[in-house]
Structure 1
Amino acid sequence: MRKHKKLNKMLMFSVCIVLLVSMLSGCMEPGKQLAAPASSTKAASTFKAGTYTGEADGKDGVVKVQVTMEKADQIKAIKVLGQTETKGLGDKAIQQITAQILANQTLKVDAVSGATITSNAILKAVENAVKQAGGDVAALKTKSVKKPGAGKTEKYSTDVVVVGAGASGVSAAVTASDKGAKVILVEKTATIGGASNLSWAGKFYNSSAAVAGGLKVDVEKEIANWIVNNHYRVDAADLRQYVTKSGETYDWLKNKGYVTKFMNFGGEQLHLLPAYDTREQTLRSMLADSVEKNGGKVLTQTTAKKLIKDAAGAVTGVVAEKEDGTTVEITAKSVVMATGGYAGNKEMVKEAFGFEGVNGGLAQNIGEGLKMAWAAGAKVPDNFGGQMLHQTLAKATAQLKKEYTPFESSYPLMLTYLPTLMNVGPSGARFRDEAATLVPVAAANTSAFNGPYHLVIVSQSQIDALTAKGMAGLNTAKVPGMPPEFYASFKDQYKVDTPWKDAQKVFDSMVKNGDGFKGNSIEELAKNAGMDVQVFKDAFKNYDEATKTGVDTEFGKSKDYLLPMGNGPYYAIKAEINNLGSVGGLIVNTKFQVLNDKRVPVKGLYAVGLESEGVLFNDTYVGNGVGIGYSFTSGRLGGEDAAIGALGL
């Protein structure tokens, strides 16, 4: 009896289920089926098999890829069709990201340290291809890449650990090793050399090459002027050490195979760095011949996370993390911070210096080295915040390169370097003698003090003159002082008398792209550019009067540069300032020991390169070649001091 009741209940339940399904089906469109329960929904993406192309903007241009899909929900292959990212950093990031996408079949891949923009570009380019294939991008972003080293720990013991493998870090590691110390060098990216791989020249005072070349600097006069020009807010002993000992660095580098070439740069002793494509390998060879040969290690793609301290407050090592998630604990007797500053940290730069321009340095330099040192007891300098503002950029350049030749796309950029054009700030007020554009540091700092950008005003009459005669049409005696890398791709055309073909089209494209402004009248230009109309009208009237009388009563600009504005329409080029790096953040003595709030050394902690460069400058960098010259010199000397401290020599 119980058995029959149980069967009846089961039958009734089945009938109910059938009726329920029938009712639901009757409410659906013909041909539709019930959706599977959410718990059984497939998370993977479904592609339409084939080959697709995708692209996205990288740091230095467009990254274009060809992606091959298979029906089995698989990204089979990724081929890079084109990219112009930084050699040795961006290109390696592209390789690493594509490998992880293919290996894990996911678009949820962490950016490569130091190449965030490039990493995001390659991911976006592949994503665009996936969309064309009908793939589910959201599904491909649900699966994370599992780091195989997560939970693992590697432990090392050494005499000296150097954090950061730029010019200063490599130099410190090599000299410490040559002094007899066992050294471990930790670098967060895959690249050795840091900003030195992008730099132009360094200053090594009275090097043997400079003296042989007939140029000798009066060291005492140089030091005295330097101190006065920085309002005495420098460490005179550190400054004297750099000026008097940097010349030795030239010979030291030469003996190590890193050969620089002396040039008399208008009376300055500059030394051109080796060919760009040879630098990293030369630095790697230096490390192999010293650090690695003497039993040390070079750990790349390993990011320092914190400093280890003992009970007495002495720094005794570093905790780091490898790219695969492995924790690395390194105990050492001396730790050298060579982490390159914080210019890549936009928020930190704005808070410390009020600067909102472009980071032209390395994206990986975000200040974690400074924060680790501060947490270990290092003093935050009273002059903290200085930046290495050194070049003017035109916002229009990147977009114009997609439409025009390198020479044509650089038209707006070249005009930002000419002293014969009117410059105004965001409000429309003129703010300087435009001859400041002839000196990189003056050009950069006068603009940055005025606001996040400035505007270069050019008229239709002036554009017509450029079209006919090139820069000579604007009374330009010599080509603008742009960095060589800015015009390397069109150096044969980079002459004052080269006509600017299609100049009108280029400037109209600039406006269309939103990187500049146009107005048929000065009032309309002011309105379109977001300037205060009355402020700009007054500035324009005064400037126009100065061009007619030859007397600039506001800024004293030479009449040689007072070029008549001419007829409209009028254009405004948006110009920004390039920040090559932060300056300082730690105070050091002449042994490169980091000082605490009482200006007493934090035992075991040293700093070289940009992290310690604040002892040379007041509130901002005003040198030429000093950044690289000091990085190599401070590294060379600081590495020796760290080894001496570790070995008790």
Structure 2
Amino acid sequence: MSVTTDVLVIGGGGSGLTAAISAATSGAKSIVLEKCARPGGSTGMSVGSFTAANTAYQYRAGVNDSIDLFIEDMKVANGKDEARENVALRRVLAENAGATLEWLSSIGVQFLGPTPEPPYEKPRMHNVLPNAGAYVTALLREARKRGVQVVTNVRVDRLLRNADGEVIGASANGVEYFGRRAVVLATGDYSAATDLKAAYVGEDAARVPAVNKSNTGDGFRLGSDVGGVMLQMDRLYEGLRFPPGRFPDPIKLLPSHPSVSRLVRLVAERLPKRLLAVLLRGALTSWVGPNNTMYAAGAILVNEQGQRVANEDSDKLLARGVAADSNRGFMVFDEALAKRFSAWPNPVSTFPGVAYAYVGDYARYRPDMFHKADTIEELASKAGINPARLRTTIQKVREYGAAGEDPEFGRTSFGAGISEGPYYALGPMQSYITLADGGLAVDTTLKVTTPEGAPIPGLYAAGSTGQGGLQLLNHGLHIGWAMVSGRIAGRHAAQASPRTDLTSVGAKGSVLETPVSELSVIQ
């Protein structure tokens, strides 16, 4: 059986849906193959920030920005990783992010902003309203409008090539799907691919679970099988997060219909910033873990046995240590540190430029994660930690701090340590990989390239799959790249010359054309 279209997109997240829409508006028919029951990918699970320069939101706010300033700020954010940057793709992102955000606005996505995002000089972060589901809702609605067909529950097992070596389609669930003009890989990253994480980062990283369990590196494998090359596969974002709260997050419960988004934007823009920040704190405490500045100030991280599991100087090491143990970690600190992190400029967790959560907010919004007691033993009992071992651990860390040396894990920043009660614990927290920054090598038109830099005929990649060496080390850049790269890949794929030979190498006899209407299609 076979299905034929002009542009075949593999992956139904933000970049894949955008690529399919871009191809359709460029005059090509397109089909999206999504392995999950619902489209959306990591885009729908994200916070949803979109960082861009030269937007109407900036103009209205009186922000005078430029592409070159944007690039210079990305250089600063990169720090030591600037030497690894793909400067050509960075300029593609910077030059197209503003127009892409305006395009999203034109199809019904609403933003709040721009808001500051250090170390950027200019406010560029645009926060989607009411939540990241608005991207998926708007893109699916636009896809239907443009005649894009989204087929779900279809996992691609291999790419198809003809006798000339051109990529002409993909095989999935016993069906051969052909793209006359091109195939676009948009399957997300490899944060849930245990084998890839172990091979390129290490066994400790492989134990850390992913936020998006569907990101199993499918596009990386497919692209590599036909000659593509994976770049910078050592780049994982590992950290600790709180599990979801007992009560649903009201921000995420809001429907992502355009009318709701417009209403939320009108309300958000007119509310005093202090009141808006208060309203968002409940959502903030359900999304992220504490800032590492609390460890630098003296907090420690322990497991349920009351023992430290890693060096608190490193988010990555903490995540790996917790994952290798019971995947339950508790931040422990004293009254002095609690007071310090109860007011600006010392938030426990942040949504930069929008909302800040302090110790009191966790007591108010996350009582299931907040524990306080007058003694160490009482605190341990409330949190479910071994009391005797917790006391021993705290005494050891006090001694390490006094000596300025940690013989167990090599910690160097002890801060004020843990002194007088009352004592506090936040947790349990769990380890997660939020995303991975490796990607297939691509050129500036998003064609997948070989190790020698030659384009692979008929194959494009977008989003995390086609990140190609971009660093994306600040908030809002991953969503920006997903949408920018999707639009570019879809447009160029649609403009490619149609292949005359759609016979896959190794195919036996004739094939039976299957109507797409008989497949699991999102209407």
| TM-score normalised per structure 2 | 0.70
**Residue 451 of structure 2 aligns with which residue?**
597
Question: What's the secondary structure of 1:302's corresponding residue?
Answer: coil
Tell me, yes or no, if structure 1 residue 351 matches structure 2 residue 199.
yes
**Residue 387 of structure 1 aligns with which residue?**
236
Task: Tell me by how many angstroms 1:622 deviates.
Answer: 2.4
Task: Tell me by how many angstroms 1:452 deviates.
Answer: 4.7
Distance 1:182 1:314, change over 3 A: same
Distance 1:455 1:334, change over 3 A: same
Question: What's the secondary structure of 2:332's corresponding residue?
Answer: strand
**Conserved 8 A contact 2:398-2:417:** no
Letter in 2 for 1:178: T
**Residue 611 of structure 1 aligns with which residue?**
465
* Greater displacement, 203-212 / 299-308: 203-212
Matches of 1:567 and 1:520, distance apart in 2: 17
Letter in 1 for 2:487: R
Task: Tell me by how many angstroms 1:623 deviates.
Answer: 2.1
Question: What's the secondary structure of 2:72's corresponding residue?
Answer: helix
**Residue 340 of structure 1 aligns with which residue?**
188
**Residue 245 of structure 1 aligns with which residue?**
96
Task: Tell me by how many angstroms 1:387 deviates.
Answer: 1.9
Matches of 2:451 and 2:390, distance apart in 1: 58
> Among the aligned pairs, what percent are the same residue?
19
Of residues 479, 490, 509, the one that matches 1:628 is 479
Q: Kindly tell me the number of residue pairs found equivalent between the two proteins.
A: 431
Of residues 113, 136, 140, the one that matches 1:280 is 136
Distance 1:573 1:566, change over 3 A: farther
Letter in 2 for 1:273: V
**Residue 32 of structure 1 aligns with which residue?**
none
**Conserved 8 A contact 2:372-2:425:** no
Matches of 1:161 and 1:372, distance apart in 2: 14
Matches of 1:178 and 1:230, distance apart in 2: 37
Tell me, yes or no, if structure 1 residue 458 matches structure 2 residue 332.
yes
Of residues 385, 401, 406, the one that matches 1:543 is 401
Matches of 2:366 and 2:477, distance apart in 1: 37
Distance 1:493 1:282, change over 3 A: farther
Distance 1:563 1:605, change over 3 A: same
Show the 5 A alignment for 1:225-624.
225=76, 229-266=80-117, 267-276=122-131, 278-290=134-146, 292=147, 296-321=148-173, 327-354=175-202, 355-356=205-206, 358-381=208-231, 383-389=232-238, 391-394=239-242, 397=243, 418-419=294-295, 420-423=297-300, 428=308, 431=311, 444-445=315-316, 447-448=318-319, 452=323, 458=332, 462=334, 465=335, 471-472=338-339, 477=344, 478-482=346-350, 494=361, 503-504=372-373, 507-511=380-384, 516-519=385-388, 522-523=391-392, 525=393, 537=396, 539-543=397-401, 555=412, 562=416, 564-566=418-420, 575-617=429-471, 622-624=473-475
Matches of 2:108 and 2:422, distance apart in 1: 57
Which structure 1 segments of 5+ residues have no match?
Answer: 1-152, 434-442, 527-535, 547-552
Matches of 1:492 and 1:445, distance apart in 2: 23
**Conserved 8 A contact 1:227-1:236:** no
Of residues 180, 187, 200, the one that matches 2:27 is 180
CA RMSD of aligned residues (A): 4.1
Letter in 2 for 1:282: A
Matches of 1:278 and 1:622, distance apart in 2: 24
Letter in 2 for 1:386: R
- Which digits, 9 at most, give the CA deviation of each residue in 1:390-446, with x for residues without a partner? x5225xx57x959xxx99x98x9659773533336899598455xxxxxxxxx6346
**Conserved 8 A contact 2:311-2:411:** no
Task: Tell me by how many angstroms 1:602 deviates.
Answer: 0.5
Matches of 1:644 and 1:582, distance apart in 2: 30
Tell me, yes or no, if structure 1 residue 164 matches structure 2 residue 38.
no
* Structure number, greater radius of gyration: 1
Matches of 1:574 and 1:508, distance apart in 2: 13
Which structure 2 segments of 5+ residues have no match?
Answer: 248-281, 405-409, 500-523
Matches of 1:258 and 1:457, distance apart in 2: 38
Matches of 1:644 and 1:637, distance apart in 2: 11
Matches of 1:172 and 1:572, distance apart in 2: 42
Question: What's the secondary structure of 2:229's corresponding residue?
Answer: coil
Distance 1:493 1:451, change over 3 A: closer
Of residues 58, 63, 72, the one that matches 1:210 is 58
**Residue 488 of structure 2 aligns with which residue?**
637
Task: Tell me by how many angstroms 1:362 deviates.
Answer: 1.8
Letter in 2 for 1:593: K
Letter in 1 for 2:236: Q
Distance 1:457 1:226, change over 3 A: closer
**Residue 256 of structure 2 aligns with which residue?**
none
Letter in 1 for 2:419: M
Matches of 2:125 and 2:227, distance apart in 1: 37
Matches of 1:197 and 1:161, distance apart in 2: 22
Distance 1:356 1:568, change over 3 A: farther
